[in-house]
Amino acid sequence: MHSSDDKKKKFFAWMRVVLFMLCLIAVCSILKFAIMPPSYARVIIHTMNDKDENYDTIVLGASHGRSAINPYKLDEKLSCNSLNVCIPNETIKDSYYLLQEAARTNDIKTVILDIDYQYWYGLKENNYFSTFIYDQLSLSSVKAKYFTDNLLDEDFRVALTRWAGYSYLIKNAKSNLKTKLTKDYFDYSIECVDNRDGGGPYLGKGFFYRQKLDEDSGFGEFKAISFDADGVDKETVEIFRKIVKYCKDKNIRLVCATSPITPSMLTCGDYGKVTEYFTSLCEEQDVEYYDFNLIKDDVLDFEDTDYVDYDGHMVGELADRYSHVLGDVISRTQEYYGKESSEVESVVSDSFYASYDEMSKNMNYVQLADMKVEPIKLDNGGYAVNINAILDGGKNVTPECRVVIKSMDTKKILYDSGYSDNMQYHYEFDDEIYIAINVYGRNKGSSEEYEAKSKTKKILLNDETVNKYLTKKKPSN
């Protein structure tokens, strides 16, 4: 009798646990649907799994690859059916599972992996956001593998309560629900997704055609690249090796490529070390690697103004040209894939500089135009700015500089230095003023109006700006 009662108690206890978990899952699902905005990852993964398509070529990577590689241009050059599955914040781990998901629903022949060192180096993972690809995968063996590989040892909330990371958007729940209850949402229309980060119209197949910024738009902060091979994330390297093995096992051609970034970034910091590291890693794994930052000028010419930021997100016009060149390199080496051939070396030597040192020696134009601005309060009550222009361009270049200052109120030019060897400037103003500063650079003796141009830096000269600058400059104890 007691045994029967004990079994009933245990049964009802387990039932309460199951009901609690089901209620918890239901509540979390409702909150997720109401709070989390429609995801671009959801749309592109659905596109990838479209049964009416059979993509034989996919592009994996993060935001650099999404803005740089136009699948329509690859299709023209390679006679393939390609899809750009680069997603902002997509990690190498994400790429690994997206590759498997793509192969589950398509007959993949070629994978182009856009390598951005920022997703390999000095990583700080936020578990609530790092699972955004997992969250959008279809219910399948791939999703189950992602869960068992990565989430069994994590806090259960990572898989169940991703909505908590978006709790600040509760105020948008009403408009969010309105969007998610439309036919467009259930049809996976791109129109339901906030794609302002795309920078321009969506052309399809995972490609956004970024528009050029206007002259008064910011270009982001210029930071020299710092890289040490010891700082590369070891787990990321292991996952890359899994990608290589998966492709070899499935007889998929893996092409690793670094899309070109702003020339300014290439001339400062450790980008040469970045290329050396990935060249060595890919040689170790016996896979192709092309750093298109080393592409010769007569093959692909680009400058800072072909991008929307120093980080290296290119505009659509350059993306079209680059995608054509990328397709050309892949096409010309296709016959020799998996073979040791002098023909491959010939293609590489025809198209690429052998090193950053060789690239620098062949440079004959200014590559970098930026500035550092120091606001100053004058004793007479007026204000001034000290401007330090930063120009570079390789060993064959003697940069000369021009600084133009406009009033933001009247749009009139207040100062125009003209071109000179001078890189440091001082300008004074009688009163508080809102100004816009541009630096132009060119090689000395050039007849070009400019070869490099900074994005406009705006500054309101007043006591508050000066005090903020002095506070920021003052070393902390």
pLDDT for the residue numbered 477: 47
Give the model's confidence band at 24: pLDDT under 50 very low, under 70 low, under 90 confident, else very high: low
Q: What is the average per-residue pLDDT within 7-15?
A: 73
Tokens coding 401: 């500089």
pLDDT for the residue numbered 439: 92
pLDDT for the residue numbered 160: 61
CB 90 within 8 A of CB 60: yes
Q: Average per-residue pLDDT in the chain?
A: 85
Selected residue with higher pLDDT from 114 and 118: 114
pLDDT at 124 > cutoff 70: no
Q: Which domains does the chain have, with CATH numbers?
A: 49-121+195-361 (3.40.50.1110), 368-473 (2.60.40.10)
Q: What is the average per-residue pLDDT within 317-337?
A: 89
Q: Give the separation between CA 450 and CA 441, rounded to whole angstroms.
A: 6
pLDDT for the residue numbered 162: 62
CB 222 within 8 A of CB 87: no
φ and ψ of 442, to 5 deg: -155, 165
pLDDT at 104 > cutoff 80: yes
Give the model's confidence band at 342: pLDDT under 50 very low, under 70 low, under 90 confident, else very high: low
Q: What is the average per-residue pLDDT within 59-73?
A: 96
pLDDT at 78 > cutoff 90: yes
Give the model's confidence band at 136: pLDDT under 50 very low, under 70 low, under 90 confident, else very high: confident
SS (H, E, C) 120-189: CECCCCCHHHHCHHHHHCCCCHHHHHHHHHHCCCCCCHHHHCHHHHHHHHHHHHHHHHHHHCCHHHHCCC
Q: Any residues with CB less than 8 A from the CB of 335 and at least 6 apart, and which?
A: 343
Q: Other C-beta atoms within 10 Å of 417: how many?
A: 17
pLDDT digits (tens, 9 = 90+) for 152-207: 666 555 556 665 656 656 777 777 778 778 888 888 889 888 888 888 999 999 99
Helix boundaries (H) for 197-256: 234-249
pLDDT for the residue numbered 303: 82
The percent of residues in the chain predicted with pLDDT above 90, rounded, is 49
The secondary structure of residue 117, as a DSSP letter, is: G
Q: What is the average per-residue pLDDT within 297-310?
A: 87
pLDDT at 113 > cutoff 50: yes
Selected residue with higher pLDDT from 127 and 10: 10
pLDDT at 128 > cutoff 70: no
CB 371 within 8 A of CB 387: yes
Burial of residue 75, with CB atoms counted within 10 A of its CB: 0-12 exposed, 13-18 middle, 19 or more buried:
middle
pLDDT for the residue numbered 51: 85
Q: Which amino acid is at 120?
A: W
The percent of residues in the chain predicted with pLDDT above 70, rounded, is 85
Give the model's confidence band at 474: pLDDT under 50 very low, under 70 low, under 90 confident, else very high: low
Q: Give the separation between CA 200 and CA 71, rounded to whole angstroms.
A: 16
pLDDT digits (tens, 9 = 90+) for 381-409: 999 999 999 888 777 889 999 999 999 99
pLDDT at 315 > cutoff 60: yes
Selected residue with higher pLDDT from 31 and 412: 412
Closest CA to 372 of 185, 224, 199: 224
